[in-house]
Amino acid sequence: MTGYEPRATTAYEPRPVARYEPRPIAPAALAELRATDDAGRPCAPYTETGAGAPLRCCLRGSEPGERIALVSYAPLRRWAAGTGAAPGAYDEQGPVFIHAEECAGPAPARPGYPFSRPGALRTLRRYDARGHIAGGRLLEIPAEAEKGFDAAFDEAFADPEVALVHVRAVEYGCFHFEVRRP
């Protein structure tokens, strides 16, 4: 189970552009995860038979027939390695789906926020420049998902100490995407 249900859209439905940039897993990190994940386990690709596994490499749901993998990922640890932060006990890892082979990443004009099904529950965890938790909130994604996320990110970044926000699924605890201070 993925906890993600794709939303039906039509070609005529206007979709707003996200005000904050949802960041996928970086290509260099993906290359490492496709060999050995952040828990030290080898990648075990499989062919998707269903649809909708939330892919963190391209920020969309999977499609039947795609080669994907479920790997352990430590987003804060990887951010800290690039910034010199020391998250200490706040470092954690969890499951994420990725393409088993290199992909093109998110569509350049992908509108809105990924995995934003109205009614779904998300945790928005805030981190400061040290990599320590600086607060957070629960978000029930409203019908106007982009407005709900924008308001939650505005609230988070109103605190000058907040450097980045991780969006996670409540049901499974898995990491969905990261937003950094604009």
Q: In a 10 Å sphere around its CB, with 0-12 CB exposed, 13-18 middle and 19+ buried, how is residue 59 labelled?
A: buried
pLDDT at 42 over 80: yes
Residue 22 placed within a domain: no
Residues 48 and 18: their CA atoms lie apart, in Å, by 28
Residue 17 placed within a domain: no
User: What's the number of CA atoms in the CB half-sphere (13 Å) around residue 11?
Assistant: 0
Q: Which domain holds residue 141?
A: 27-106+113-180
Per-residue pLDDT tens digits for 56-113: 999 999 999 999 999 999 999 999 999 999 999 999 999 999 999 999 999 988 788 9
Residue with tokens 């994940």: 37
- Answer yes or no: are the C-beta atoms of 76 and 133 closer than 8 Å: no
3-state secondary structure 104-168: CCCCCCCCCCCCCCCCCEEEEEEEECCCCEEEEEEEECCCCHHHHHHHHHHHHHCCCCEEEEEEE
pLDDT at 55 over 90: yes
Residue 145 placed within a domain: yes
Residue 3 placed within a domain: no
Order of all β-strands in the sheet with 60-61: 46-47, 67-73, 94-99, 54-55, 60-61
Residue 7 placed within a domain: no
Residue 125 placed within a domain: yes
Residue 12 placed within a domain: no
Residue 102 placed within a domain: yes
Number of domains in the chain: 1
What is the pTM for the complete model shown?
0.86
Per-residue pLDDT tens digits for 131-166: 999 999 999 999 999 999 999 999 999 999 999 999
